[in-house]
Amino acid sequence: MLPRTSITATAPVDSGEDDPERQSSVSGECVSAAEEYPESAAEEYPESAAEEYPESAPEESSGSAPEARPDTTASDASTGQTDAAGDRPVRIRASGVARRYQSDTADVRALEDMSLEVTDGEFFCLLGPSGCGKSTFLRLLSGLAEPDAGEIEIHTDADSDRPATSMVFQNDGVLPWKTVIDNVAFGLKMRGVGKRERYEIAREYIEKVNLTGFEDAYPHQLSGGMKQRVGIARAFANDPQVLLLDEPFGELDAQTRRYLQGELLSLWHDSERTVVYVTHDIEEAIKLGDRIGVMGTRPGRIKTTVDVDLARPRTRENLDMARLEELKTRVWDVLSEEVQRSIERR
Amino acid sequence: MIPFLRRVARRLGTIAAPFLVFGVCWELASGPILDARFFPPPSAVLSLAVELYLEEGFLTHVLASLQRILLATALGATSGVVVGLVAGWSRKVGWVLNPHLALLYPVPKVALLPVLFVVLGGTEMVRVLTMSLAVFLLVAIDTMGGVREIDDVHVEVALDNGAGPLALYREVILPGTLPQVFSAVSMGFSVGFALLVVIEMLAAESGLGYVIWNSWQLFTIPRMYVAVLTINVLGVVFVHGTEMLGDVLTPWEHGQRR
Amino acid sequence: MDDARLYQACSLAVSLLVWELAVGVFGLLSPTMLPPPSTVASNTAALLAAASFRAHLLDTVYRTLLAAVVGSVLGTAVGLAMGWNRRLKSVLSPLAAAVFPLPTIALLPLVILLVGSNQRALIVTAALGTFFVVLWNAMTGARGIESAHVDVARDNGVTSIARLIREVLLPGSLPLVFVGLRLGLNTSLLITVAAELVAGDSGLGYVLWVSWMSYQIPDLYAALVCASALGVAFTYGIAALYRVAVPWSSDVRRWETA
């Protein structure tokens, strides 16, 4: 079977075992990321949600189970053919994870009692309103921050020097002083891969994300969409066992976003990799994910898990629109309450 | 090729034109409007400059000034970058060093000069040390600020890709602060030149500052102009040259600042 | 935050204590050349009580402020005009770029010849230096005032130029003006002290020179302390003023830490 890498913490991480400076600065970043988060996505979310689901949401919600909204219904309703947990091993297991941070005014519980399982090869979407701690959770998975309590296990393959995780950042995840090819090859360089070999691998992924010809360009010469493709190419070039994406297309225009979603799906399909994808866009989550973990706000935790039983590839012709609308409604039901709460809190 | 050359020529033209106009006006005004004793015509200054540059005596002064400014800037900039990088990254070192830097930074450095001379003696080393102290403060504070301004995301990217502390410095912190370092060294040169002139006026027997002072006392005004002009040219070369070098060495910055 | 304050205060206190102990108690350094901080403090206090020393201090303050105000106002006006008017900029910016690295103190003998009186020459030199530094800063900063804000104002019915200036351009350029003020005051102080050292017959720079030549160590340190205190007061005073006058600025925090 698979050996385990596990990150466990039951006490606050202040002990600072290895390198106190680095430790403190990393957790500092986590705080700032969480702080700045509400601002960046705050206005965007309720608007886009309201526009995308104008009338249909309330009507349909009364049609499906109105009372039994929390926790169980959704996963019960759609456990059918796609529940892969039986035949595939669990890749990520989080149980009782908590994380808090100190803001200027108060002690904020970013995550509390957060538990989930992601199976091998699954495309798992974490969906939630801004400030629900979904990005924080991703940082815990990546090891950039450590949980205050609870346990995160990522099962890694034996005899493999592949990294456990690699992250695609929300924005500015490319280093401005490195050319495209050096950005893509960065993780390989850090792992001591020789120049010729890492450039070869980097070129392969640069081609896969359609950036051939831009190898020697600096990021400031690229558009936002192209920069995100560099980030994606780097994450794939690292060949991680789990790919983490933190709202990678959140700041792009709708057309570019749709295009890159398709590109990401085909890369994922070719590599059969486990993906955890953080987003606040319901439609994006449904179009991309095998399963959606819908999160609630402060303290952040999974409220419901929804199986997306739409056949792949989910192209326009192939897509079961009626089912898509149904899923949207179901997710929106759970989410709207949370959005309401998070807006009122502000 | 031809259009490129033409563009370069036009650019040089737009830069040179104001100087030409200014020079011609001065040339014409010197005598009829301006007192030629205080404002000798540029032609006279330039011909004297050629004469002096061919003389060994004047060149010794130029070399003395050059040696001082280069030594002081090299010392101050290197130590400033090292201290700035450490104090910017480590919060605790920052806490210890910051109040000292913040207190010393606004001190008019020329005021330190007599004190250092009294305490350490009026040697060449003390002259250079005073200048390098000023450069050091500028570079250390700007480098520290540069490190603090590095985007958290870029640090996270490096950590997520498996960078250790050393690689983090090499791949993120250093390139991230490089633009600030260059602009600080450029500023350091301009502060260094100011101190250089004062030091040479007051407490040296060589250098361009000494020539200015000496020419004033001997009332050889054209020679003073040549010394001022030489300092100005050196200043332009080092201050703007450092900026340009920075632009060349940090090609990823182009277009970001504008 | 409080942690940081504590660290910073402690680190300064420790440095002073080490100095005090090294000189005063263990006698590692000669107390006549480098008196311990307690002696420096008491000497300075004693001198500040004397009217003659206070007169020197006031002279320096007066010159610095006058030169800073004249230089900053002119520098900001010309710099902003250059930033907003393309043609003016293409003519003047090469000249400004060429003069910027020239230490103004090198022009002091010339200014003395022109102005006649030493007292006025000091102020003119300091104002000249301030002018160029502030001009450079204002020119590069003028672009930072967003044209989008002008559009917003126009769209909301601001039609007259006077109102546009009051509602958008003036508040928009305030941060720039403050940076210019801080820069101007410190440049002015530096040049004033330098000029007094070189050619003054009063002021802190003059005190520094006299006490250096006659080895009057208490006066020497008192003058250094006062000049430093002026620099610190200007820098942090302007920062405090900035926080009050420009509460909307996002780099208020940067000013606090800088």
CATH number reported for the structural domain that contains residue C246 in this entry: 1.10.3720.10
Q: Which of A228, A62, A26, A268 is nearest to A145 (CA)?
A: A26
Distance from CA of A217 to the nearest CA of B (A): 9
**Cβ atoms B17, C95 nearer than 8 A:** no
Region C214-230 average pLDDT: 90
Give the Cα separation of A101 and A29 in Å (integer): 11
Hey, what amino acid is at C31? Answer: P
Cβ within 8 Å, pair B172-A173: no
> Which pair of tokens denotes residue A5?
């890498």
Angle between helices C217-245 and C204-213 (to 10 degrees): 160
Give the Cα separation of A208 and A312 in Å (integer): 20
In this predicted structure, the answer to whether residue A91 has a pLDDT above a threshold of 50 is yes
DSSP state of C34: S
Q: What is the pLDDT of residues C106-137, one digit of tens each?
A: 999 889 888 877 888 999 999 999 998 888 88
> Which pair of tokens denotes residue C237?
């005073």
Disruptive mutation site among C28, C56, C63, C102 for chain B (greatest number of B CBs within 10 Å)? C102
Hey, what amino acid is at B72? Answer: A
Q: What is the pLDDT of residues C45-82, one digit of tens each?
A: 988 888 889 999 999 999 999 999 999 889 888 888 88
Kindly indicate whether the ipTM for this predicted assembly is greater than 0.90, answering yes or no.
no
Residue-level pLDDT at A345: 63
The 3-class SS string of C220-256 reads HHHHHHHHHHHHHHHHHHHHHHHHHHCCCCCCHHHHH
Residue-level pLDDT at A51: 40
Give the Cα separation of A175 and A186 in Å (integer): 9
Strand spans (E) along chain A: 4-8, 90-102, 107-119, 123-127, 149-155, 165-168, 242-246, 274-279, 291-296, 301-307
Grade residue B232 by pLDDT with cuts at 50, 70 and 90.
very high
Distance from CA of B27 to the nearest CA of A (A): 47
The residue among A190 and A84 whose pLDDT is bigger is: A190
> Which pair of tokens denotes residue A184?
């893509």
- Return the H-helix or E-strand segment holding A253: none
Alpha-carbon radius of gyration of chain C: 22
Positive/negative CA dihedral, B139, B141, B147, B151:
negative
Q: Which residues are within 8 A (CB) of B108 and not within 5 positions of it... i.e. 6 or more apart?
A: C186, C189, C190, C193, C194, C227, C228, C230, C231
Which residues of chain B does C114 touch, with a Cβ-Cβ cutoff of 8 Å? 38
Residue-level pLDDT at A81: 37
Q: Which of A168, A151, A125 is nearest to A288 (CA)?
A: A125
- C3 and C87 inside one domain: no
- Measure CA A225 to chain center: 18
Grade residue A27 by pLDDT with cuts at 50, 70 and 90.
very low
Q: Which residues are within 8 A (CB) of B66 and not within 5 positions of it... i.e. 6 or more apart?
A: B234
Q: Which of B241, B232, B186, B192 is nearest to B212 (CA)?
A: B232
Which residues of chain C does B102 touch, with a Cβ-Cβ cutoff of 8 Å? 258
Burial of B22 (0-12, 13-18, 19+ CB in 10 A): middle
- C185 and C132 inside one domain: yes
Q: In chain A, pLDDT over 90 holds for what percent of residues?
A: 15
Residue of chain C with shortest Cα separation from B144: C258
Disruptive mutation site among C44, C113, C191, C234 for chain B (greatest number of B CBs within 10 Å)? C113
> Which pair of tokens denotes residue A67?
């009372």
A337 phi-psi bin (left φ>0, alpha ψ -120 to 50, beta other): alpha
Give the Cα separation of B210 and B258 in Å (integer): 41
Range of the domain at C10: 1-34
Burial of B123 (0-12, 13-18, 19+ CB in 10 A): exposed
Disruptive mutation site among C110, C196, C225 for chain B (greatest number of B CBs within 10 Å)? C110
Which residues of chain B does A24 touch, with a Cβ-Cβ cutoff of 8 Å? 91
Cβ within 8 Å, pair A219-B252: yes
Of A135-144, B5-14, C155-164, C192-201, the range with the lowest mean pLDDT is C155-164
Which residues of chain B does A144 touch, with a Cβ-Cβ cutoff of 8 Å? 156, 159-160
> Which pair of tokens denotes residue A266?
């085909």
Positive/negative CA dihedral, C50, C56, C58, C61:
negative
In this predicted structure, the answer to whether residue A53 has a pLDDT above a threshold of 80 is no
Give the Cα separation of A319 and A308 in Å (integer): 12
Cβ within 8 Å, pair B157-A25: no
The three-state secondary structure class of A300 is strand
Of A279-288, B2-11, B128-137, the range with the lowest mean pLDDT is B2-11
- C42 and C96 inside one domain: yes
DSSP lists the bridge partners of residue A246 as: A278
Give the Cα separation of C44 and B182 in Å (integer): 39
Residue-level pLDDT at B93: 84
> Which pair of tokens denotes residue A298?
């402060």
Give the Cα separation of B234 and C239 in Å (integer): 34
Give the Cα separation of A139 and B54 in Å (integer): 68
Pair type for strands A274-279 and A149-155: unpaired
Window 6-65 of B: residues touching C by CB (8 A cutoff) are 14-19, 22, 38
Q: What is the pLDDT of residues B164-213, one digit of tens each?
A: 888 999 999 999 999 999 999 999 998 899 999 999 998 888 999 999 99
Burial code (b: 16+ CB inside 10 Å, e: under 16) for A44-82 equals ebbebbeeebeeebeebbeeeeeeebeeebbeebbeeee
| Minimal Cβ distance to A172: which of B153, B160, B178 | B153
For chain A, the domains span 4-164+242-344, 174-239
- Return the H-helix or E-strand segment holding A191: none
Q: In chain B, pLDDT over 90 holds for what percent of residues?
A: 43
Number of domains in chain C: 2
In this predicted structure, the answer to whether residue C258 has a pLDDT above a threshold of 50 is no
CA atoms lying within 13 Å on the CB side of residue A152:
21
Q: What is the pLDDT of residues A143-201, one digit of tens each?
A: 888 888 888 888 887 667 788 889 998 877 889 899 999 999 999 998 888 999 999 99
The CATH H-level (homologous superfamily) assignment of domain A4-164+242-344 is P-loop containing nucleotide triphosphate hydrolases (3.40.50.300)
Grade residue A34 by pLDDT with cuts at 50, 70 and 90.
very low
Which residues of chain B does C225 touch, with a Cβ-Cβ cutoff of 8 Å? none
Within an 8 Å CB–CB cutoff, is residue B114 touching chain C? yes
The 3-state DSSP composition of chain C as helix, strand, coil percent (nearest 5) reads 85, 0, 15
- C5 and C86 inside one domain: no
Cβ within 8 Å, pair B118-C11: no
- C105 and C89 inside one domain: yes
> Which pair of tokens denotes residue C7?
């660290």
Q: What is the pLDDT of residues B214-229, one digit of tens each?
A: 998 898 889 999 999 9
